């Protein structure tokens, strides 16, 4: 391993499972163990275990914890119940996206934030610079092993490892529970479009939980899942990836995330004025999905055409294993977002893409 | 990694097998393994003329598209039509059922200039 990448706390477990590693966001990450297709289908049909310990965590503790977080995120933390989570973005003053996050309200004076690994330092600096209120902001990114257990059988398998009634943790709720003998923050969240949980586990208990979940899941078809299938799963579910659908030059309105921008919440927030303007004027482009003809996969940067005119750019593309066709996401100029189909230049050849605003795959 | 002794190899990880006055071309076990699940193989039309090191098409996996290069000056004789419906053959049997295409070299002796198995193995070690 090179000096520039850090090993995950459970790296030897992954190596023992035959993982192929590749650098991602400063970490040496398991990309796949078996094949991306097998891993993808295991999550859709049974369950998969992801080590996503590269993700960052930031904790905000103090009397003003909730309003401090609300001063930098677009969604409304004050509206959450204790034990409730929300998806949100954090924006620059110009309205473009610093990062997308999940915010967990653990107590009136304690908020836990999960951030993208690649943005951990940027997010922390942004929060320290822009937030207002009396609370302590702590980078806890090195303190947790984060495991995601995703798939239709996830709850059933985890249920065997805890006395806590997991059915009481509904979608986007969380609880601090004991699981496999370890104190964990268990959240019913994920990045696959399936039911499942994300577990924040103190590093010293990481192996114990990983081993217990692996053993309990094995008879049900659990596979360890690498970042490769994590990407194909999230794309099929039309979930945004920072660096592709979101960036420092993309705003949440054009990204289709108006639903997390609460312009009228009680705490003013960074980017509010810019986002109000963008929303009232309407964005100049919008994110669209594409069902593609043929087998060639559009890749990030491929141009989208209406006739001879470039009207957009692809941000993500992959084969959808559930549909068995290539799918892609991309930004399309506003004049063309109502088009039924547009053409995508894939290595010099035109591929017809049928536009959609829906997930490519939705679990039933 | 499997590197059959009777084939020739390129630095861009194609293998070449002599078959009469044609050559059969595929990608090596190393190449297919590095790419992961192959979902689509893009091959040229029979009759196309190719210069050595020209991209002749490529192999698409979930993560990336990799060009495949003509090993020598040649024209396309035929392509492996089974790959249209079963691109995974390239993963499952890269030196057999997963062959990509047959080329008619302008000068069959050009094949001699490609690496033999031992040279390719050394090249892989240097490369990694």
pLDDT at A33 over 80: yes
Contacts A–B by Cβ distance under 8 A: 35
Calpha distance A298→B60 (Å, rounded): 11
Tokens of A192: 């696959």
DSSP string, A78-126: GGPPTTEEEEEEEE-TTS-EEEEEEEEEEETTEEEEEE-GGGHHHHHHH
For position A277, what pLDDT does the model report? 98
Question: What angle (nearest 5°) sits at the alpha carbon of residue A105, between those of residues A100 and A107?
Answer: 155
Q: Residue A187, SS3?
A: strand
Beta partners for residue A89, in sequence order: A100
Calpha distance A84→A15 (Å, rounded): 35
For position B85, what pLDDT does the model report? 86
Tokens of A356: 């959609």
Contact A299 B65 (CB under 8 A): yes
Continuous segment of H or E residues that includes residue B26: strand B22-27
DSSP string, B60-80: EESS-EEEEE-SSSEEEEEE-
Residue B15 maps to a domain: yes
- Chain segment A270-307, per-residue pLDDT in tens: 999 999 999 999 999 999 999 999 999 999 999 999 99
Q: Strand ranges (DSSP E) for chain A?
A: 6-7, 20-24, 27-32, 48-51, 56-61, 84-91, 97-107, 110-115, 136-139, 144-150, 174-179, 182-187, 196-202, 223-225, 285-292, 303-306, 309-320, 325-333, 341-346, 349-356
Q: Which of A231, A325, A284, A326 is nearest to A32 (CA)?
A: A231
Helix residue spans in A134-293 (DSSP H): 154-159, 206-217, 227-236, 272-281
For position B127, what pLDDT does the model report? 66
Supply the mean pLDDT for chain A: 97
Domain count, chain B: 1
pLDDT at A3 over 60: no
How much is the average pLDDT of A25-53?
Answer: 96
* Exposure string for A296-314, b = 16+ CB within 10 A, e = fewer: bbbbbebbbbbeeeebbbb
Contact B60 A296 (CB under 8 A): yes
Q: Is A168 exposed, middle or buried (0-12, 13-18, 19+ CB in 10 A)?
A: exposed
How much is the average pLDDT of A159-182?
Answer: 98
Interface test with A, best of B1, B59, B63 (most A CBs within 10 A): B63
User: By the 8 A CB rule, do A332 and A312 touch?
Assistant: yes
For position A364, what pLDDT does the model report? 74
Q: Give the residue from chain B lying closest to A349, CA to CA.
A: B42
pLDDT at A341 over 70: yes
Residues of A in contact with B91 (CB under 8 A): 35
Residue B33 maps to a domain: yes
Residue B2 maps to a domain: no
- Chain segment B57-78, per-residue pLDDT in tens: 999 998 889 999 999 999 999 9
Instruction: Please state, for a pLDDT cut of 70, what percent of chain A lies above it.
Output: 99
Residue B119 maps to a domain: no
Supply the mean pLDDT for chain B: 94
For position A200, what pLDDT does the model report? 98
pLDDT at A353 over 50: yes
For position B115, what pLDDT does the model report? 97
Residue B122 maps to a domain: no
Residue B83 maps to a domain: yes
Contact B60 A228 (CB under 8 A): no
Count of other CB atoms within 10 angstroms of residue A111:
25
Q: What CATH number corresponds to the domain at position B85? A: 2.40.50.100
Residue B28 maps to a domain: yes
- Chain segment A80-132, per-residue pLDDT in tens: 999 999 999 999 999 999 999 999 999 999 999 999 999 999 999 999 999 99
Classify B104 in phi/psi space as left (phi over 0), alpha (psi -120 to 50) or beta: beta
Contact B40 A228 (CB under 8 A): no
Residue B61 maps to a domain: yes
Q: Which of B14, B13, B25 is nearest to B75 (CA)?
A: B25
- Chain segment A221-243, per-residue pLDDT in tens: 999 999 999 999 999 999 999 99
Per the document, the length of chain A is: 364
Confidence grade of residue A1 (pLDDT, cut at 50, 70, 90): very low
Domain residues for B100?
Answer: 8-107
Confidence grade of residue B128 (pLDDT, cut at 50, 70, 90): low
Calpha distance A95→A250 (Å, rounded): 8
- Chain segment A175-203, per-residue pLDDT in tens: 999 999 999 999 999 999 999 999 999 99
């Amino acid at each position: 391993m090179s000096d520039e990448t850090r090993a995950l706390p459970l790296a030897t477990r992954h190596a023992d499972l035959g993982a192929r590693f590749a650098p991602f966001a400063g970490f040496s990450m398991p990309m796949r163990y078996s094949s991306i297709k097998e891993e993808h289908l295991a999550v859709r049909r049974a369950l998969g275990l992801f080590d996503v310990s590269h993700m960052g965590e930031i904790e905000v503790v103090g009397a003003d914890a909730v309003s401090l977080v609300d001063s930098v995120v677009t969604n409304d933390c004050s509206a959450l119940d204790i034990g409730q989570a929300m998806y949100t973005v954090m924006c620059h003053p110009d309205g473009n996206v610093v990062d997308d996050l999940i915010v967990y309200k653990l107590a009136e004076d304690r908020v836990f934030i999960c951030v993208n690994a690649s943005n951990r330092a940027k997010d922390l600096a942004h929060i320290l610079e822009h937030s207002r209120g009396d609370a302590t902001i702590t980078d806890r990114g090195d303190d947790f092993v984060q495991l995601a257990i995703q798939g239709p059988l996830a709850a059933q398998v985890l249920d065997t490892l805890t006395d806590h009634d997991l059915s009481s943790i509904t979608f986007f709720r969380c609880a601090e529970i004991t699981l496999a003998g370890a104190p964990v923050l268990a959240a019913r969240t994920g990045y696959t479009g399936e039911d499942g949980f994300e577990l924040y586990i103190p590093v010293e208990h990481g192996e114990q939980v990983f081993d217990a979940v692996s053993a309990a899941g094995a008879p049900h078809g659990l596979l360890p899942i690498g970042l490769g299938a994590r990407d194909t799963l999230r794309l099929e579910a039309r979930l945004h990836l920072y660096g592709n659908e979101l960036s420092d030059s993309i705003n949440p309105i054009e990204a289709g995330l108006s639903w997390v921008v609460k312009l009228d919440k009680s705490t003013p927030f960074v980017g509010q004025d810019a986002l109000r303007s963008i929303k009232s004027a309407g964005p100049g482009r919008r994110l669209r999905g594409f069902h593609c003809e043929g087998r060639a996969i559009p890749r990030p940067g491929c141009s989208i055409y209406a006739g001879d005119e470039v009207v957009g750019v692809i941000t993500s593309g992959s084969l959808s294993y559930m549909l068995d066709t290539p799918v892609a996401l991309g930004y399309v100029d506003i004049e063309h977002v109502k088009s039924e189909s547009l053409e995508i230049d894939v290595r010099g050849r035109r591929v017809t893409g049928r536009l959609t605003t829906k997930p490519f795959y939705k679990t039933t | 990694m499997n590197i059959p002794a009777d084939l020739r190899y390129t630095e861009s990880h194609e293998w070449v097998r002599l078959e009469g006055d044609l050559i059969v071309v595929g990608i090596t076990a190393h190449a297919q393994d590095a790419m992961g699940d192959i979902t689509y193989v893009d091959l040229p039309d029979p009759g196309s003329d190719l210069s050595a090191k020209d991209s002749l098409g490529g192999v698409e996996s979930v993560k990336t598209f990799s060009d495949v290069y003509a090993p020598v000056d040649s024209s396309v004789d035929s392509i492996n039509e089974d790959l249209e419906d079963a691109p995974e053959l390239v993963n499952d049997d890269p030196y057999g059922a997963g062959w990509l295409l047959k080329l008619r070299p302008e000068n069959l002796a050009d094949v001699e200039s490609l690496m033999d198995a031992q040279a390719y193995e050394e090249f892989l070690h240097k490369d990694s």
